[in-house]
Chain A
Amino acid sequence: MATDREWANGYFQQAAADMRAASDLRGAAPSVVAMLVQMALEKFGKAALLRSGQFGINSARGSRRGASKMVRVLTRNHGACRRLGYSGRSIEDDLLPLIYDLERSHPVLNRDGPHLEYPWETPAGQIEWPAQHLAVGRRFRPENTQGIRLIKFLQQLCDRFDRVFL
């Protein structure tokens, strides 16, 4: 039977792979980059929760809000922010709103859309889809630096995860 720590490593490694894919795609398909960044965030959150020693794999599988809570709690930890090269305030003001928007666009949390992965029907009966119509996806266009800043932050988190979470 695998330990929570082993599960945490699995989630972390896959989050790192999602981030590499997001970086490779950057500028080419903004809504797909947004989806990959949300997927990476969710897995980083689950990896951190599983490392806490207080949260098992069954809880982690069902959790959808771990990423925003992870980053929100991180902003209270001066040492962790310093090791990532950020201030808590800059993460809270600049990055957290986009993280909340990505999280809210998860198909499970926003079943009727708009969301990151599938088409949805508007109240007026129109079919829309992420690549064309997802507002949060536009934040990952090359000319929008907020998405770029979030990717940079997540790459730092990926590189220094062991220096932040025990």
Chain B
Amino acid sequence: MRSIEETAKYLASEHAKEDGGLEAVYWAPAEDEVHLLEVSSLVPDTGEVLPFRFVSDPPDVPYPTVIILLSPGDWRQIENGSLELPPSYKGNLNKLEVSPVIHGN
């Protein structure tokens, strides 16, 4: 079975394949769950940090997954402190390398 970190990297690469606007993926280590934060230029600014927790989907995703999806504008608000992350994310973000993907028509 994949580890939590391997699952985080797997999800990041899967999302990069599908989201041509994906600018960054961060993983916040947590016990028994995968916590990701993704920044995509395809989503509009909302001025809110909205986390959604999905059930596991073995074998590829054997852990529940919490995903926060932000626009670049909302991410800048996180960086300058005008928007706040949930406690499990705060000060706990590791940037994941996302392989560049060529998006064809």
On A, residues with C-beta under 8 Å from B are 48-49, 51-55, 63, 65-66, 69-70, 72-74, 76-80, 88, 163-166
Given that A65-B46, A65-B50, A72-B43 are contacting pairs, would A164 and B18 also be in contact in the complex, using a CB cutoff of 8 Å? no
Contacts of B53 in A (CB 8 A): 48, 51-54, 165-166
- Total chain B interface residues with beta-carbon distance under 8 A: 25
Contact with A along B53-72 (1 / 0, CB 8 A): 11101001100111101000
Contacts of A66 in B (CB 8 A): 48, 50
Q: Pick from B15, B46, B57, B64: contact of A76, CB below 8 A.
A: B15
* Residue picked from A48, A52, A76, A77, most chain B C-beta under 10 Å: A76
Interchain CA distance A56-B53 in the complex, whole Å: 14
Contacts of A78 in B (CB 8 A): 14, 57
Say yes or no: B86 contacts A55, CB within 8 Å: yes
Given that A55-B50, A65-B46 are contacting pairs, would A72 and B55 also be in contact in the complex, using a CB cutoff of 8 Å? no
Q: Is B19 an interface residue (CB 8 A)?
A: yes
What is the minimal beta-carbon distance from B42 to any residue of chain A, in angstroms?
Answer: 8
Interchain CA distance A113-B88 in the complex, whole Å: 39
Closest to B69 in A: A73
Give the secondary structure class of A's interface.
helix
Interchain CA distance A61-B46 in the complex, whole Å: 15
Given that A65-B46, A69-B46, A76-B15 are contacting pairs, would A54 and B51 also be in contact in the complex, using a CB cutoff of 8 Å? yes
Contacts of B55 in A (CB 8 A): 79-80, 163-166
* Residue picked from B46, B52, B54, B64, most chain A C-beta under 10 Å: B52
Closest to B89 in A: A54
Say yes or no: B64 contacts A166, CB within 8 Å: yes
Contact with A along B20-47 (1 / 0, CB 8 A): 0000000000000000000000010010
In the complex, besides A52-B53, A54-B53, A77-B57, 12 extra interface pairs with C-beta distance below 8 angstroms are: A52-B51, A54-B66, A66-B50, A69-B52, A76-B18, A76-B69, A78-B14, A79-B57, A79-B60, A80-B54, A80-B55, A163-B55
20 contacts between A and B (CB under 8 A): A53-B66, A54-B51, A54-B86, A55-B86, A65-B46, A65-B50, A66-B48, A69-B48, A70-B52, A72-B43, A77-B57, A77-B65, A77-B67, A79-B54, A79-B55, A79-B57, A79-B60, A80-B57, A164-B55, A166-B64
